[in-house]
Structures are given as C-alpha cells and as structure tokens.
A and B are shown apart, each in its own frame.
Chain A
C-alpha cells in the first residue's frame, strides 16, 4: 500500500474532514512532484493568500477609517477678489 493511501486511511480513521484529506492528497502530490521545498511553498502560498486578503481588507478598512476621520485637507484659498471699490 502506498504511503499516500496509508496516511489517507490514518486520517480517515481519525475522522478528519474531507478538506484535510484533500489537503493531504495535495501535499503528497506536491511532494512527489517537487519534494519538500514544494510542500513548504504550497503551505506558504496558502498562508500568503490569506495574508494578502487580510492585508487588503485591513487596508480597505483602515482607508475608510482614515478617510472619514483624518482632518480634511485645507480648502483651496478663497478666490482672490479684484480690488473693490475704495
């Protein structure tokens, strides 16, 4: 029996959910294709994806907060009026 199947069986015995079993398949496939570094890269890419989305969201929320709360930029100087009557 292959390592993939043995570990998949162990995961099933531990009543892990389908996403965990799918992740194991993905990890095993990645390992077979690219070795340990590829698996590390796979995990990092998943983490980075979440980090990016979180950062984007945090930035968006921050920008909302900053936009509504920061002191408005000083309005342009009032139109300079030409010399009025003395």
Chain B
C-alpha cells in the first residue's frame, strides 16, 4: 500500500554544497519538478536528500579526508544543515543532519511526531529501521543518479558491468572483490620458492666448497706437524696456552709487559688468541728493533775501521814522501856536497872566464902586431921594444900563433866555460827537485798529523806515530767482539719469538680445521633444514603462510562473488517482467521490443566477477541482439531507465518516492514523451521527484502529471548566495 510508505514533505537546506542561504522546498504529494539549467544546484538539492538520510554522497569525489566539499565554501559559519521532513499518513519525521567544515562526523537528529528526539548512533539505527533499506539499496530503489545511467551508455563492458552492479546494489561487493588481489600473493610465493631453491643450491655448493677447504686446511695442519687425531678444540686450547705462555715468558725475560689475553673457550676464540699473540710478537719485534744496539755497534766498528784506513793511508803517503827525499839525497848527494860542487863549478867558470879574457887580450895584441907588420912590411925593429925583427918572419910567426895555439886554447877555454855553466844549471835543477820533494813530504806529514788530531777527538787515547796503528787495530777488534755479542743476543730473542710464532701458526692451522668442522656441522644442519621437504625452516613457514593466505583470499573472493552472483540473479529475476515492460514503454523500438538481462561469471585477473549481457529481442520473429551493439545512445538510456524503474518497483522498503536526476539525457522527443508517460504511471503509488534542465521533458511531465498534480521549482545560482528556488 503506497499510503503506508514515507513521502518527502519538505526540505530545508543551508550551507550544503551549492546551497548557501537557507532554502526550503515543499514537495507535492504526487510529483515535483526541479527545473534549472546546468550548474544551478539541482544535484545539490537532490544530494541534500541523500546526505540527510545517509550522511554520504555516493558519487561525490572526496576533496579531503574531512569531505569539506559537502559544506558550501561561502557559508558564514562553515556549516551544512539539512532538515528533511518525511510523512507517512499522520506520522511526521523530521530528520536533521549537520556538519561543520573540517570535521569528519555529522550530527544526526530525528524528531518523531510525538516530539521524541533521537540522536547520534541511535538516530542512525532509528533511521535504518524507518527507511527499511541501506545506503547502497537507496540507489536502486529510490534515487536514479546521473552516474548510474551514464555507466550503461559506454561501450566498455567492464564499466557497463560496474554500472549494472551499482544498479543491482552490488557495487560494494564488486569493490571488495576488486580489492582482494591474489596476484601479489602468488608472485610472492613464486619468489620465495625461487629463493628457497637458490638458497638450497647455495648451501649445497658451500658444503662442497667447505669439504675442499677442509682438505686443504688439513694438509696445512699436517705440514706444520699436527696430528690429525689431535685436531680438536681441546688440543687447540692447549696450543693456545702454549703460545700464551711463550709470549709471556719472552716478555718477562725482556722486561716487557706481558699481553693480557684470556684462555680461549670457543673455536673462534682460538683465532682471537692467535691474532693477539701475533700482535704481541710483532710488537716485541718492533720494540727489539727500536732498542737494538746492533746498528750502533756496527756503526762504531765501521767508523773505527774507516779511521784506521784513513790514518794508515796518510802515514803511508808521508813515509813515501820522506823516502823520496832520502832517495834524492842518496842519488844527488847531500846538500853540503851540492853546495861544494856548485862553488867549485862557479870558481872554475870564473877562472875560465878570466883565461878567456887574457887570451882575448893576447889575441888583440897579436892582431895589432900583425896589422902593424902588414902595414910596414919592411919593418926592421919592434916599435915597442926596438928589438930587431924581420917583418915577414914575424908576420908568419904571429899568424901561426894566431891560428894555432891561440885558437886551440880559445876553443878549450870556451868548452870549459860551457861545461862549468851546464854543471851549475844541473845543480840548480837538482836543488829545485829536492826542495819540491821536501815540500811534498812536509805536506804529507802535516796531513797525517791533522788526521791524527781528528781521530783523537773520537779516540782520545789515540797515540801519535807507529803506536796509533796498533791502538786502532785493538779498537777495531773490540768493536767486532761487541757487535758479535749484540747480534748473538738479538738472534736469541728472534729464535724465541720464532718458536712462539710457530706455535701460533700451528694453532691457526688447527683452528682452521676445527672451524671447518664446526661450519660443516652448521651447514649440514642448514642444508637439511632448507631441503625442499624441510618443515621447520622459515622459508617453508612463509610459503605455507602465503599459500594459506592465497587459499583464504580465493575462498573469500569465491564467497563474495557467490553472494554477488545470487544477488544479481535475484535482482534480475525479480525485476525481469517490469523491466521488460518499462523497456517496451520507454524505448518503443519498432523491432527489438523485448529486453532481457543475463548475468554470468567471468574470470578477471583470477577472480570471478559478474558480467552482464543485455539482449533485446524481436517478439515478431524471435531474433535477438546485444543491446549495446544495436541500440542508439538514447535507446540505451531507455534501457538504463527501464532497469532502474523495474528494480525500484520490486524492491521492498519503506520509501514512497523515487528521485530521478536529469533522466532525459540523450533522449529524443518521443522518448521524453514516453518517459513522461511512464513516470506519470508511477504517480498512483509513488511520489516522483524529477530534476531536469530539459524544458521539453518539463513540458511533457507537466502535461502528463496534470498541472495541479505537480509542484515546480526553478533554481538560480550565484557564487555568493548559492542556489535559490522559486515556485513556478
């Protein structure tokens, strides 16, 4: 009985979406038209009904987490208030919902005829009982939204299926189904299986490698003298103690601090001890090197030997120089002898010179006499002594004398003079040589003395002379002995450290084998745990967990889809006849005059989903076709309207009104007339509220509803004032 259902009486809106200032619309008992061009607030007014009843807007994109798009942005207090009055016979229910901008929650209050006020969650429950349907069902029972129609008009099957799901009230199930994604689970399972295989392979490979490694380490251990029987942790600890004792003893003997190393307990600690002892050995060697006197002693020996060599060289040079002087004296005579010979030669040369002078005087006299005789050949007496002479005889005598004795004598005297002169020159050269040798000897001696003085600064007790050599030899011997002693001490320490070092090497060799054994045992445990049938390892656990998750998700998806399928079939079956009838009336197709919807399951990404096939038939010859492939957009719009109206007529709920938001999109004149006829047919049982921007539809509706049966409002909108309404 239509009278027993709830009808819209009036609505008061303020600050809601496009409506800013308070707006009141009184709905007629039969039909109400809300007419305005696009963007004047028709959808806001219809949305206010939806929001007031359910606190949500189905097709509204959320602006932010607090849905501030619900509140008009120019409202002075930033508050939306919608008050909707529903009537059922004598009962009246005032539903008031408010919310402030920036707040998530809305405030709901329901006031009954008796003045009872119900608020909060009680009001939600009260409202659910009062309306008798859910928010989702509201869209298929009472509110044909533009979006519901639009989805049916597109070619894309997925979108059409979604739109039909919405019309059938299955959009939530569909959304849940779409959100249950199994592929990431299967991919993760594949990934972990791959990991498991790779890990197992890696462990097997490592195990084999470890065997080879152990064999090598065993050979190394045997090579350092270890016995295979003793390659145990206890034997390692004994070796470690030996090494620790060795380095401690060495440190004590050499005045060094012993390293503080605790006894090892585990295999890894064996290596720690080995490393620490090695460090201590290195440190000991560095200390020994830093403190060693080997280089000092060695340097001293080198210095003394060098000094010895230098001194010996200088002495030899001085001795050779002195010997050269001595040899010269022996060869050329002493200085006295040289002086004597020089004096003799000088005297001789002087004597010869005088004889030559006398001879030259005689020669001049003889020459004068000969000249005189030659001038006076008849000369009878000497003009000097008056002695009687024969001129020719005298001349011959003079000439004989001149060319004979006188000449011979002269030559002899000249020879003697030259010999004396040469002798003197020779003596001069000898004297020069001696002087030079004496100077060289003096320089060598001076150098030797300087070297001795230098050496005495290093070796104060160094004597001068032949004793210096012995002294230096003694020094060299002492330095050699000292160096040998230091070297012996150093070698001794090195041998001690080498012994400890070798103990550590044995410890390390043993540790490697024992460690290999330990690793091998651990690896074997891991290998067996990671084997494909291993039950206890983490990878298998995670695989099982994911497989269980996959199984659960698949079961849930099947259950959800099962519910969706049943609901779709129920909706289709229950509305089949009325939908077909509305299609016939609305579409008025000259050939395809019947409509049928079939639902089937289709696998999408591994999940079964409802897929709808809308077919139209020709009752004349039974031919059928897919509606979307043969019908025009306007005819498809009629299909959508038929499905909606068919569904809304069979659903059970307490609402006695239907709301259609701009239903004439894409319809031509004849379809609009048909729609107006169909809607007028609903008036007998339902209150019909239609918003439209279509003047043609408005005309048809007024005509079919009857002017006194319809309340018409015209809306206008400004940015600041929002939507205003005037009764037309």
Given A7-B560, A14-B558, A65-B205, are A19 and B552 also a contact pair (CB < 8 Å)? yes
Interface centre among B188, B556, B563 (most CB of A within 10 A): B556
Q: Is B176 part of the contact surface with A, judged by Cβ < 8 Å?
A: yes
Of residues 536 to 591 in B, which have CB atoms within 8 Å of A's CB atoms? Answer: 537-539, 541-543, 545-546, 548-549, 551-553, 555-556, 558-560, 562-563
Q: Does any Cβ of A come within 8 Å of B369's Cβ?
A: no
Q: Which residues in B have their C-beta under 8 angstroms from that of A28?
A: 176
Q: Which residue of B lies closest to A38 (CB)?
A: B179
- Supposing A58-B199, A62-B202, A65-B205 touch, asked if A50 and B179 sit within 8 A by C-beta, the answer is no
- Docked-complex contact A10 and B192, CB < 8 angstroms: no
CA distance A58 to B537 in the complex (A): 10
Q: Which residues of A contact B206 (CB under 8 A)?
A: 64-66, 68-69
The distance in angstroms between the C-alpha atoms of A62 and B201, with both chains bound, is 10
Given contacts A10-B563, A44-B184, whether A37 and B552 have CB atoms under 8 Å apart is no
Chain B 197-209 interface 0/1 with A at a Cβ cutoff of 8 Å (1 = within): 0110011011001
Q: Which of A20, A31, A84 has the most CB of B within 10 A?
A: A20
Chain A residues lying within 8 Å of B546, measured Cβ to Cβ, are: 47, 50
- The smallest beta-carbon distance between A56 and chain B, in angstroms, is 8
A40/B181 contact (C-beta < 8 A), A6-B563, A20-B556 known: yes
Cβ contacts under 8 Å, A61 to chain B: 199, 202-203, 526, 530
Q: How far is the CB of B267 from chain A (nearest CB, A)?
A: 12
Q: Give the nearest-CB partner of A53 in chain B.
A: B542
Q: In the complex where A23-B556, A47-B549 touch, is A82 in contact with B563 (Cβ < 8 A)?
A: no
Choose among B191, B294, B556 the residue that contacts A27 (Cβ–Cβ < 8 A). Answer: B556
Residue B422 at the chain A interface, CB threshold 8 Å? no
Inter-chain contacts of B519 with A (CB < 8 A): 67-68
Q: Chain B binding site: helix, strand, loop or mixed by DSSP?
A: helix
Asked if B258 CB lies within 8 Å of chain A CBs, one says no
A46 to chain B, nearest CB (A): 6
Q: A16-B552, A53-B542, A85-B490 are in contact. Are A65 and B184 (CB under 8 A)?
A: no
Which residues between 56 and 77 of chain A lie within 8 Å of chain B, taking CB atoms?
56-58, 61-62, 64-69
Contact with A along B171-200 (1 / 0, CB 8 A): 011011011110011001001100110110
**Which of A23, A50, A64, A66 has the most chain B CB within a 10 Å cutoff?**
A50
- Rounded to whole Å, the gap between the CB of B481 and the closest CB of chain A is 14
Q: Residue B278 at the A interface, CB < 8 A? A: yes
Whether a CB of chain A sits under 8 angstroms from the CB of B282 is yes
Q: How many whole Å from A4's CB to the nearest CB in chain B?
A: 10
CA distance A43 to B172 in the complex (A): 18
Cβ of B366 within 8 Å of any chain A Cβ, yes or no, is: no
With contacts A14-B559, A39-B179 known, is A69 near B210, CB below 8 A?
Answer: yes
Contacts A79-B285, A82-B292; is A58 near B179 (CB within 8 Å)?
A: no
- How many B residues are at the interface, by size bracket? 35 or more
| Chain B residues positioned under 8 Å from A50 (CB to CB) | 188, 192, 542, 545-546, 549
Q: Contacts A10-B559, A14-B559, A19-B552: A27 and B526 contacting too (C-beta < 8 A)? A: no
Contact A11:B181 (CB < 8 A) given known A19-B548, A47-B549: no
CB nearest neighbor in A for B567: A6
Question: By the criterion CB–CB under 8 Å, are A43 and B180 in contact?
Answer: yes
Query: How many A-B pairs with Cβ below 8 Å?
Result: 157
Q: B491 an interface residue at 8 Å Cβ cutoff? A: yes
* Residues of B with C-beta under 8 A to A56: 538
Contacts of A66 in B (CB 8 A): 202, 206
Query: A39 vs B289: C-alpha distance in the bound complex, in angstroms?
Result: 74
B328: chain A residues at CB < 8 Å are none
Cβ-neighbour of A64 out of B185, B516, B526 (below 8 A): B526
- Report B-chain residues with C-beta under 8 Å of the C-beta of A10: 559-560, 562-563
Number of A residues with CB within 8 Å of any CB on chain B: 47
Residues of A within 8 A of B523 (CB): 64-65, 68
Contact (Cβ within 8 A) B537 A57: yes
Which residues from chain B contact A65 at a C-beta distance below 8 Å? 199, 202-203, 205-206, 523, 526
Contacts of B426 in A (CB 8 A): none
Q: Which A residues are in CB contact (< 8 Å) with B180?
A: 27, 39, 43
Q: A43-B180, A64-B526, A68-B523 known; A54 and B281 CB under 8 Å?
A: no
Residues of A within 8 A of B556 (CB): 7, 11, 20, 23-24, 27
Near A by CB (< 8 A), chain B positions 306-338 give: none
**What's the minimum C-beta distance from B186 to chain A, rounded to whole angstroms?**
10
A55 surroundings in chain B (CB, below 8 A): 195
Q: List chain B residues, Cβ under 8 A from A67.
A: 519
Question: Is the beta-carbon distance between A82 and B288 smaller than 8 angstroms?
Answer: yes
The reply on B119 being an interface residue by CB < 8 A is no
B494 in the interface (beta carbon within 8 A): yes
The CA-CA distance from A56 to B195 in the complex, in Å, is 11
- Given B181, B192, B203, B282, which contacts A51 in the complex, CB threshold below 8 Å? B192
Which of B199, B281, B292 has the largest count of A CB atoms less than 10 A from its CB? B199
CB-CB < 8 A to A35: which residues of B? 175, 179
B487 interface residue (CB < 8 Å to A): yes
Instruction: For B563, list chain A residues within 8 Å (CB).
Output: 3, 6-7, 10
Query: A47 contacts B188, CB within 8 Å?
Result: yes
A84 CB to closest chain B CB, in angstroms? 7
The 8 Å CB contact of A24, one of B172, B184, B192, B559, is B559
**Beta-carbon nearest neighbor of B134 in chain A:** A2
Partner of B491, one of A37, A57, A85: A85
List the A residue with the shortest CB-CB distance to B538. Answer: A57
Residues of A within 8 A of B530 (CB): 61
> Which A residues are CB-close (under 8 A) to B487?
85
B378 contacts the other chain (CB 8 A):
no
Q: Closest approach, in angstroms, between the C-beta of B199 and any C-beta of chain A?
A: 5
Q: A43-B185, A47-B184 are in contact. Are A31 and B539 (CB under 8 A)?
A: no
Q: Is B213 an interface residue (CB 8 A)?
A: yes
B558: chain A residues within 8 A (beta carbon): 14
A59 to B546, CA, bound (A): 19
Q: Could you list which residues of chain A lie within 8 angstroms of chain B, going by C-beta atoms?
A: 3, 6-7, 10-11, 14, 16-17, 19-20, 23-24, 27-28, 31, 35-40, 43-44, 46-47, 50-51, 53-58, 61-62, 64-69, 79, 81-85
Knowing that A31-B176, A57-B539 touch, tell me 5 more A-B residue pairs with CB under 8 angstroms. Answer: A7-B563, A27-B179, A38-B179, A53-B541, A54-B543
Across the A-B interface, give the 6 residue pairs with the lowest CB-CB distance, nearest first: A82-B289, A36-B179, A39-B179, A69-B206, A65-B206, A57-B538
- For this complex, 24 residue pairs linking A to B, each with C-beta atoms less than 8 Å apart, are A3-B563, A10-B560, A14-B559, A19-B552, A24-B552, A24-B559, A27-B556, A35-B179, A40-B181, A43-B549, A51-B188, A53-B538, A54-B538, A55-B195, A58-B195, A58-B199, A64-B203, A65-B523, A65-B526, A69-B209, A79-B281, A85-B488, A85-B490, A85-B491
> Which B residues have a C-beta under 8 Å from some C-beta of A?
172-173, 175-176, 178-181, 184-185, 188, 191-192, 195-196, 198-199, 202-203, 205-206, 209-210, 213, 278, 281-282, 285-286, 288-289, 292, 294, 487-488, 490-491, 494, 516, 519-520, 522-523, 526, 530, 537-539, 541-543, 545-546, 548-549, 551-553, 555-556, 558-560, 562-563
